[in-house]
Structure 1
Amino acid sequence: MVASISTNSEQTLLKEVVKGNTIAFEQLFYGYHQHLTSFIYKLSLSKEVAADIVQDAFIEVWLRRHLLAEVKSFKSFLFVIAKNKMLNELRKLANEKSINRQWAALGDKLCQIKPVDDDLEEYYYVLERAIECLPPQQRKVLELSKFSQMKHRDIALLLNVSEATVKTHVKLAFRFLRRYFHQFSGDRIILAQG
Protein backbone atom coordinates (compact mmCIF):
# COMPACT_ATOMS: atom_id res chain seq x y z
CA MET A 1 0.00 0.00 0.00
CA VAL A 2 1.16 3.56 -0.67
CA ALA A 3 0.80 4.56 2.99
CA SER A 4 3.49 2.06 3.97
CA ILE A 5 6.23 4.14 2.32
CA SER A 6 7.08 7.31 4.23
CA THR A 7 8.51 10.33 2.43
CA ASN A 8 11.95 9.81 3.99
CA SER A 9 12.13 6.12 3.18
CA GLU A 10 10.77 6.84 -0.32
CA GLN A 11 13.64 9.29 -0.93
CA THR A 12 16.10 6.70 0.34
CA LEU A 13 14.58 4.06 -1.96
CA LEU A 14 14.75 6.45 -4.93
CA LYS A 15 18.46 7.08 -4.30
CA GLU A 16 19.03 3.33 -4.21
CA VAL A 17 17.03 2.76 -7.40
CA VAL A 18 19.15 5.40 -9.18
CA LYS A 19 22.15 3.22 -8.27
CA GLY A 20 20.42 0.21 -9.83
CA ASN A 21 19.27 -1.46 -6.61
CA THR A 22 16.55 -3.87 -7.73
CA ILE A 23 15.42 -4.61 -4.16
CA ALA A 24 14.67 -0.91 -3.60
CA PHE A 25 12.83 -0.82 -6.93
CA GLU A 26 10.80 -3.86 -5.87
CA GLN A 27 9.80 -2.08 -2.67
CA LEU A 28 8.60 0.94 -4.68
CA PHE A 29 6.79 -1.38 -7.04
CA TYR A 30 4.90 -3.14 -4.26
CA GLY A 31 4.29 0.18 -2.51
CA TYR A 32 2.52 1.72 -5.52
CA HIS A 33 1.41 -1.15 -7.74
CA GLN A 34 -2.07 -1.69 -6.29
CA HIS A 35 -2.95 2.00 -6.05
CA LEU A 36 -1.74 2.70 -9.60
CA THR A 37 -3.59 -0.33 -10.98
CA SER A 38 -6.83 0.89 -9.36
CA PHE A 39 -6.31 4.36 -10.83
CA ILE A 40 -5.72 3.05 -14.37
CA TYR A 41 -8.57 0.55 -14.09
CA LYS A 42 -10.97 3.40 -13.31
CA LEU A 43 -9.83 5.10 -16.53
CA SER A 44 -9.74 2.05 -18.78
CA LEU A 45 -12.41 -0.22 -17.29
CA SER A 46 -10.20 -3.12 -18.35
CA LYS A 47 -8.10 -5.26 -16.02
CA GLU A 48 -5.86 -6.32 -18.89
CA VAL A 49 -5.24 -2.75 -20.10
CA ALA A 50 -4.63 -1.59 -16.52
CA ALA A 51 -2.13 -4.41 -15.91
CA ASP A 52 -0.29 -3.68 -19.17
CA ILE A 53 -0.09 0.06 -18.53
CA VAL A 54 1.06 -0.36 -14.94
CA GLN A 55 3.73 -2.81 -16.05
CA ASP A 56 4.86 -0.46 -18.84
CA ALA A 57 4.93 2.47 -16.40
CA PHE A 58 7.19 0.62 -13.99
CA ILE A 59 9.43 -0.52 -16.83
CA GLU A 60 9.76 3.10 -17.91
CA VAL A 61 10.57 4.14 -14.34
CA TRP A 62 13.34 1.56 -14.27
CA LEU A 63 14.66 2.64 -17.66
CA ARG A 64 14.58 6.30 -16.59
CA ARG A 65 15.82 5.69 -13.07
CA HIS A 66 18.66 8.17 -13.56
CA LEU A 67 15.98 10.91 -13.36
CA LEU A 68 14.71 9.76 -9.97
CA ALA A 69 17.37 11.73 -8.07
CA GLU A 70 15.58 14.92 -9.15
CA VAL A 71 12.06 13.66 -8.44
CA LYS A 72 10.33 15.39 -5.53
CA SER A 73 7.18 13.25 -5.59
CA PHE A 74 7.60 9.73 -6.90
CA LYS A 75 3.84 9.18 -6.80
CA SER A 76 3.27 12.16 -9.13
CA PHE A 77 6.13 11.05 -11.38
CA LEU A 78 4.76 7.51 -11.62
CA PHE A 79 1.14 8.55 -12.11
CA VAL A 80 2.07 11.03 -14.87
CA ILE A 81 3.95 8.28 -16.71
CA ALA A 82 0.98 5.93 -16.34
CA LYS A 83 -1.52 8.62 -17.36
CA ASN A 84 0.53 9.38 -20.49
CA LYS A 85 0.70 5.69 -21.34
CA MET A 86 -3.09 5.48 -20.92
CA LEU A 87 -3.56 8.46 -23.26
CA ASN A 88 -1.26 6.83 -25.81
CA GLU A 89 -3.28 3.62 -25.55
CA LEU A 90 -6.51 5.57 -26.13
CA ARG A 91 -4.98 7.27 -29.18
CA LYS A 92 -3.82 3.90 -30.47
CA LEU A 93 -7.30 2.42 -30.03
CA ALA A 94 -8.89 5.42 -31.76
CA ASN A 95 -6.42 5.10 -34.64
CA GLU A 96 -7.08 1.36 -34.90
CA LYS A 97 -10.84 1.97 -34.99
CA SER A 98 -10.31 4.56 -37.72
CA ILE A 99 -8.22 2.11 -39.76
CA ASN A 100 -10.87 -0.59 -39.26
CA ARG A 101 -13.57 1.83 -40.45
CA GLN A 102 -11.44 2.60 -43.54
CA TRP A 103 -11.02 -1.11 -44.20
CA ALA A 104 -14.74 -1.66 -43.80
CA ALA A 105 -15.41 1.17 -46.26
CA LEU A 106 -12.90 -0.28 -48.70
CA GLY A 107 -14.47 -3.71 -48.25
CA ASP A 108 -17.86 -2.21 -49.05
CA LYS A 109 -16.42 -0.53 -52.13
CA LEU A 110 -14.64 -3.68 -53.22
CA CYS A 111 -17.91 -5.59 -52.87
CA GLN A 112 -19.61 -2.98 -55.00
CA ILE A 113 -16.98 -3.08 -57.72
CA LYS A 114 -18.55 -4.47 -60.82
CA PRO A 115 -16.71 -5.25 -63.99
CA VAL A 116 -18.10 -3.26 -66.88
CA ASP A 117 -19.24 -6.46 -68.61
CA ASP A 118 -20.19 -8.21 -65.38
CA ASP A 119 -17.16 -10.42 -65.73
CA LEU A 120 -16.28 -11.38 -62.13
CA GLU A 121 -13.16 -13.13 -63.28
CA GLU A 122 -11.80 -9.76 -64.37
CA TYR A 123 -12.55 -8.27 -60.95
CA TYR A 124 -10.77 -11.08 -59.12
CA TYR A 125 -7.90 -10.90 -61.54
CA VAL A 126 -7.41 -7.19 -60.79
CA LEU A 127 -7.75 -7.79 -57.05
CA GLU A 128 -5.16 -10.58 -57.16
CA ARG A 129 -2.80 -8.42 -59.24
CA ALA A 130 -3.19 -5.54 -56.78
CA ILE A 131 -2.39 -7.78 -53.81
CA GLU A 132 0.56 -9.35 -55.65
CA CYS A 133 2.00 -5.87 -56.23
CA LEU A 134 2.20 -5.22 -52.50
CA PRO A 135 5.59 -5.61 -50.84
CA PRO A 136 5.84 -9.08 -49.24
CA GLN A 137 5.50 -7.90 -45.62
CA GLN A 138 2.51 -5.65 -46.42
CA ARG A 139 0.87 -8.50 -48.34
CA LYS A 140 1.36 -10.90 -45.44
CA VAL A 141 0.02 -8.40 -42.90
CA LEU A 142 -2.97 -7.61 -45.15
CA GLU A 143 -3.79 -11.28 -45.60
CA LEU A 144 -3.49 -11.99 -41.87
CA SER A 145 -5.45 -8.91 -40.87
CA LYS A 146 -8.24 -8.85 -43.40
CA PHE A 147 -8.53 -12.36 -44.78
CA SER A 148 -7.61 -14.32 -41.65
CA GLN A 149 -9.22 -11.74 -39.33
CA MET A 150 -6.23 -11.67 -36.96
CA LYS A 151 -5.81 -8.81 -34.49
CA HIS A 152 -2.87 -6.45 -34.90
CA ARG A 153 -1.35 -7.61 -31.61
CA ASP A 154 -1.44 -11.26 -32.74
CA ILE A 155 0.08 -10.40 -36.10
CA ALA A 156 2.84 -8.44 -34.37
CA LEU A 157 3.65 -11.44 -32.18
CA LEU A 158 3.55 -13.85 -35.12
CA LEU A 159 5.81 -11.72 -37.32
CA ASN A 160 8.00 -10.51 -34.46
CA VAL A 161 7.33 -6.82 -35.20
CA SER A 162 5.65 -4.05 -33.24
CA GLU A 163 1.93 -3.33 -33.40
CA ALA A 164 2.82 0.09 -34.83
CA THR A 165 4.62 -1.64 -37.71
CA VAL A 166 1.57 -3.81 -38.35
CA LYS A 167 -0.68 -0.75 -38.40
CA THR A 168 1.67 1.04 -40.78
CA HIS A 169 1.67 -1.94 -43.14
CA VAL A 170 -2.13 -2.09 -43.07
CA LYS A 171 -2.42 1.63 -43.72
CA LEU A 172 0.07 1.52 -46.61
CA ALA A 173 -1.56 -1.57 -48.14
CA PHE A 174 -4.96 0.08 -47.91
CA ARG A 175 -3.64 3.24 -49.58
CA PHE A 176 -2.02 1.21 -52.36
CA LEU A 177 -5.16 -0.86 -53.06
CA ARG A 178 -7.27 2.27 -53.22
CA ARG A 179 -4.89 3.82 -55.76
CA TYR A 180 -4.63 0.59 -57.72
CA PHE A 181 -8.39 0.26 -58.08
CA HIS A 182 -8.72 3.94 -58.85
CA GLN A 183 -6.22 3.46 -61.67
CA PHE A 184 -8.49 0.81 -63.21
CA SER A 185 -11.74 2.69 -62.71
CA GLY A 186 -11.50 4.33 -66.14
CA ASP A 187 -10.46 1.17 -67.94
CA ARG A 188 -12.20 -2.07 -66.99
CA ILE A 189 -13.47 -1.66 -63.47
CA ILE A 190 -15.80 0.95 -62.07
CA LEU A 191 -15.59 1.80 -58.38
CA ALA A 192 -18.96 2.53 -56.87
CA GLN A 193 -19.05 5.92 -55.16
CA GLY A 194 -19.92 5.43 -51.56
Structure 2
Amino acid sequence: MTAGSDIFFKNLFESTHGKAFNFIKALSKDENIAREVVQTSFIKIWKHIGKYRNHPNPEALVYVTVKNAFLDEMRKQNRINAILTSIEENSHLQYTIADTVEDVAIRGEAFTAVNRALDKLPQRLQHIYTLYQFEELTPLEIADTLQLSVTTIRTNIETAKLFLRKELRKYRY
Protein backbone atom coordinates (compact mmCIF):
# COMPACT_ATOMS: atom_id res chain seq x y z
CA MET A 1 0.00 0.00 0.00
CA THR A 2 1.25 3.47 -0.84
CA ALA A 3 1.65 6.37 1.54
CA GLY A 4 -1.15 8.12 -0.33
CA SER A 5 -3.47 5.19 0.35
CA ASP A 6 -2.56 5.29 4.03
CA ILE A 7 -3.42 8.97 4.22
CA PHE A 8 -6.62 8.46 2.23
CA PHE A 9 -7.71 5.62 4.54
CA LYS A 10 -6.88 7.66 7.65
CA ASN A 11 -8.93 10.61 6.40
CA LEU A 12 -11.81 8.38 5.32
CA PHE A 13 -11.75 6.60 8.69
CA GLU A 14 -11.70 9.83 10.66
CA SER A 15 -14.53 11.37 8.67
CA THR A 16 -16.86 8.34 8.72
CA HIS A 17 -16.08 6.03 11.64
CA GLY A 18 -18.10 7.85 14.31
CA LYS A 19 -21.13 8.32 12.08
CA ALA A 20 -20.97 4.72 10.86
CA PHE A 21 -20.78 3.47 14.45
CA ASN A 22 -23.78 5.58 15.50
CA PHE A 23 -25.72 4.42 12.42
CA ILE A 24 -25.20 0.73 13.21
CA LYS A 25 -25.75 1.28 16.93
CA ALA A 26 -29.13 2.85 16.12
CA LEU A 27 -30.03 -0.10 13.86
CA SER A 28 -28.85 -2.85 16.19
CA LYS A 29 -29.60 -1.23 19.55
CA ASP A 30 -26.37 -2.90 20.71
CA GLU A 31 -23.05 -1.12 21.13
CA ASN A 32 -21.01 -4.34 20.91
CA ILE A 33 -22.61 -5.39 17.64
CA ALA A 34 -22.07 -1.89 16.26
CA ARG A 35 -18.42 -1.95 17.30
CA GLU A 36 -17.86 -5.37 15.74
CA VAL A 37 -19.66 -4.58 12.46
CA VAL A 38 -17.86 -1.26 12.00
CA GLN A 39 -14.49 -2.82 12.83
CA THR A 40 -15.06 -5.64 10.32
CA SER A 41 -16.21 -3.11 7.73
CA PHE A 42 -13.12 -0.95 8.07
CA ILE A 43 -10.87 -3.98 7.74
CA LYS A 44 -12.66 -4.74 4.47
CA ILE A 45 -12.32 -1.12 3.41
CA TRP A 46 -8.59 -1.24 4.19
CA LYS A 47 -8.18 -4.36 2.07
CA HIS A 48 -10.02 -2.76 -0.87
CA ILE A 49 -8.89 0.84 -0.42
CA GLY A 50 -8.34 1.30 -4.17
CA LYS A 51 -12.05 0.77 -4.82
CA TYR A 52 -12.91 3.49 -2.29
CA ARG A 53 -10.21 5.84 -3.49
CA ASN A 54 -11.49 5.65 -7.08
CA HIS A 55 -15.17 5.97 -6.13
CA PRO A 56 -16.85 9.34 -6.78
CA ASN A 57 -18.31 9.36 -3.25
CA PRO A 58 -16.16 7.17 -0.97
CA GLU A 59 -18.02 8.23 2.19
CA ALA A 60 -21.31 6.97 0.77
CA LEU A 61 -19.60 3.70 -0.14
CA VAL A 62 -18.42 3.36 3.47
CA TYR A 63 -22.02 3.56 4.73
CA VAL A 64 -23.16 1.02 2.14
CA THR A 65 -20.35 -1.31 3.24
CA VAL A 66 -21.23 -0.90 6.93
CA LYS A 67 -24.96 -1.39 6.28
CA ASN A 68 -24.32 -4.54 4.24
CA ALA A 69 -21.98 -5.93 6.91
CA PHE A 70 -24.71 -5.34 9.50
CA LEU A 71 -27.32 -7.09 7.35
CA ASP A 72 -24.95 -10.03 6.79
CA GLU A 73 -24.40 -10.31 10.55
CA MET A 74 -28.15 -10.26 11.22
CA ARG A 75 -28.77 -12.95 8.59
CA LYS A 76 -26.04 -15.06 10.15
CA GLN A 77 -27.52 -14.60 13.64
CA ASN A 78 -30.99 -15.50 12.33
CA ARG A 79 -29.64 -18.72 10.78
CA ILE A 80 -27.90 -19.62 14.03
CA ASN A 81 -31.05 -18.90 16.04
CA ALA A 82 -33.15 -21.02 13.66
CA ILE A 83 -30.75 -23.94 14.05
CA LEU A 84 -30.72 -23.62 17.84
CA THR A 85 -34.50 -23.45 17.93
CA SER A 86 -34.75 -26.56 15.76
CA ILE A 87 -32.35 -28.42 18.03
CA GLU A 88 -34.30 -27.37 21.13
CA GLU A 89 -37.62 -28.33 19.57
CA ASN A 90 -36.32 -31.77 18.62
CA SER A 91 -34.35 -32.47 21.77
CA HIS A 92 -36.89 -35.15 22.78
CA LEU A 93 -35.70 -37.33 19.88
CA GLN A 94 -32.50 -38.24 21.68
CA TYR A 95 -34.56 -40.10 24.30
CA THR A 96 -36.57 -42.27 21.94
CA ILE A 97 -34.04 -45.12 21.71
CA ALA A 98 -33.42 -47.20 24.82
CA ASP A 99 -29.89 -47.13 26.18
CA THR A 100 -27.97 -50.37 26.08
CA VAL A 101 -24.98 -51.33 28.18
CA GLU A 102 -22.80 -51.07 25.09
CA ASP A 103 -24.11 -47.54 24.34
CA VAL A 104 -23.30 -46.44 27.89
CA ALA A 105 -19.78 -47.89 27.63
CA ILE A 106 -19.17 -46.16 24.29
CA ARG A 107 -20.43 -42.86 25.68
CA GLY A 108 -18.16 -43.21 28.70
CA GLU A 109 -15.17 -43.86 26.45
CA ALA A 110 -16.12 -40.92 24.24
CA PHE A 111 -16.53 -38.66 27.29
CA THR A 112 -13.04 -39.57 28.45
CA ALA A 113 -11.66 -38.96 24.96
CA VAL A 114 -13.34 -35.53 24.82
CA ASN A 115 -11.79 -34.56 28.14
CA ARG A 116 -8.36 -35.71 26.96
CA ALA A 117 -8.73 -33.78 23.71
CA LEU A 118 -9.84 -30.66 25.60
CA ASP A 119 -6.77 -30.94 27.81
CA LYS A 120 -4.58 -30.85 24.68
CA LEU A 121 -5.96 -27.46 23.65
CA PRO A 122 -3.97 -24.36 24.56
CA GLN A 123 -5.31 -22.85 27.79
CA ARG A 124 -6.92 -19.84 26.10
CA LEU A 125 -8.75 -21.95 23.49
CA GLN A 126 -9.79 -24.43 26.15
CA HIS A 127 -11.24 -21.63 28.31
CA ILE A 128 -13.12 -19.99 25.43
CA TYR A 129 -14.46 -23.30 24.11
CA THR A 130 -15.57 -24.37 27.61
CA LEU A 131 -17.45 -21.10 28.08
CA TYR A 132 -19.11 -21.54 24.71
CA GLN A 133 -19.90 -25.25 24.71
CA PHE A 134 -20.46 -26.15 28.35
CA GLU A 135 -21.48 -22.88 29.99
CA GLU A 136 -23.52 -22.00 26.89
CA LEU A 137 -22.36 -18.40 26.63
CA THR A 138 -22.70 -16.70 23.26
CA PRO A 139 -19.61 -15.41 21.46
CA LEU A 140 -20.78 -11.89 22.30
CA GLU A 141 -21.06 -12.73 26.02
CA ILE A 142 -17.63 -14.34 25.98
CA ALA A 143 -16.17 -11.33 24.16
CA ASP A 144 -17.62 -9.01 26.80
CA THR A 145 -16.35 -11.19 29.64
CA LEU A 146 -12.81 -11.58 28.27
CA GLN A 147 -12.60 -8.09 26.73
CA LEU A 148 -11.88 -9.50 23.27
CA SER A 149 -13.59 -8.94 19.93
CA VAL A 150 -16.43 -11.21 18.85
CA THR A 151 -14.44 -12.08 15.74
CA THR A 152 -11.53 -13.26 17.89
CA ILE A 153 -13.87 -15.37 20.00
CA ARG A 154 -15.53 -16.93 16.95
CA THR A 155 -12.14 -17.67 15.41
CA ASN A 156 -10.97 -19.32 18.63
CA ILE A 157 -14.15 -21.41 18.88
CA GLU A 158 -13.78 -22.59 15.27
CA THR A 159 -10.09 -23.39 15.84
CA ALA A 160 -10.99 -25.45 18.92
CA LYS A 161 -13.78 -27.25 17.02
CA LEU A 162 -11.44 -28.16 14.16
CA PHE A 163 -8.85 -29.47 16.61
CA LEU A 164 -11.45 -31.49 18.54
CA ARG A 165 -12.94 -32.94 15.34
CA LYS A 166 -9.49 -34.12 14.34
CA GLU A 167 -8.75 -35.55 17.77
CA LEU A 168 -12.14 -37.27 18.05
CA ARG A 169 -12.41 -38.56 14.49
CA LYS A 170 -12.78 -42.21 15.54
CA TYR A 171 -15.87 -41.42 17.66
CA ARG A 172 -17.86 -39.94 14.76
CA TYR A 173 -20.76 -41.88 13.36
Instruction: Say yes or no: TM over 0.5.
Output: yes
Partner of 1:149: 136
The letter of the residue matching 1:21 is D
* Alpha-carbon distance in 2 for matches of 1:111, 1:149: 21
4, 21, 31: which one aligns with 2:6 = 21
CA contact (8 A) 2:41 2:65 kept: yes
Aligned-residue offset at 1:128: 4.9
Separation (CA, whole Å) in 2 of partners of 1:104 and 1:53: 28
Task: Give the drift of 1:113.
Answer: 4.0
Deviation of 1:75 after TM superposition, in Å, equals 2.1
Q: 1:19 corresponds to which letter in structure 2?
A: G
- How far the C-alpha of 1:146 sits from its partner, in A, is 4.4
Q: 2:66 aligns with which of 74, 79, 82?
A: 82
Q: Does 1:63 align with 2:47?
A: yes
- Quote the Cα distance in structure 1 between the aligned partners of 2:28 and 2:14: 21
In the alignment, which residue of structure 1 is the partner of 2:28? 44
Q: Aligned match of 2:104 in 107, 121, 124?
A: 124
CA distance in 1, matches of 2:3, 2:77: 34
- Counterpart of 2:78 in structure 1 is 94
The question of whether the paired residues in 1 share the 8 Å contact of 2:41 and 2:66 is answered with yes
Corresponding residue to 1:104 among 88, 98, 110: 88
Q: C-alpha distance in 2, partners of 1:99/1:39? A: 29
Instruction: Give the whole-Å Cα distance in 1 for the aligned partners of 2:104 and 2:18.
Output: 54
Percent sequence identity is: 20
Change (3 A) 1:69 1:148: closer
Q: Which runs of 4+ in 1 moved over 6 A?
A: 129-133
Gap change, CA 1:99 and 1:146, over 3 Å in 2: farther
- Whether 1:32 and 2:16 are equivalent positions in the alignment is yes
Question: The residue matched to 2:56 in structure 1 has which SS?
Answer: coil
Query: For 1:37 and 1:111, how far apart are their aligned partners in 2?
Result: 47
SS of residue matched to 1:114: coil
1:187: which partner in 2? none
Give distance in 2, aligned partners of 1:18 and 1:80.
25
Instruction: Give the number of the structure whose alpha-carbon radius of gyration is greater.
Output: 1
Aligned to 1:186: none
Q: CA deviation at 1:29?
A: 1.6
Q: How many Å apart are 1:38 and its aligned residue? A: 1.7
Secondary structure of 2:40's aligned partner: helix
Distance 1:92 1:55, change over 3 A: same
Q: Contact (CA 8 Å) 1:18, 1:68: kept in 2 or not?
A: no
Aligned to 1:53: 37
Paired residue secondary structure (2:5): coil
8 A Cα contact 2:12 2:59, kept in partner: no
- Report if aligned partners of 1:114, 1:123 keep a CA contact under 8 Å in 2: no
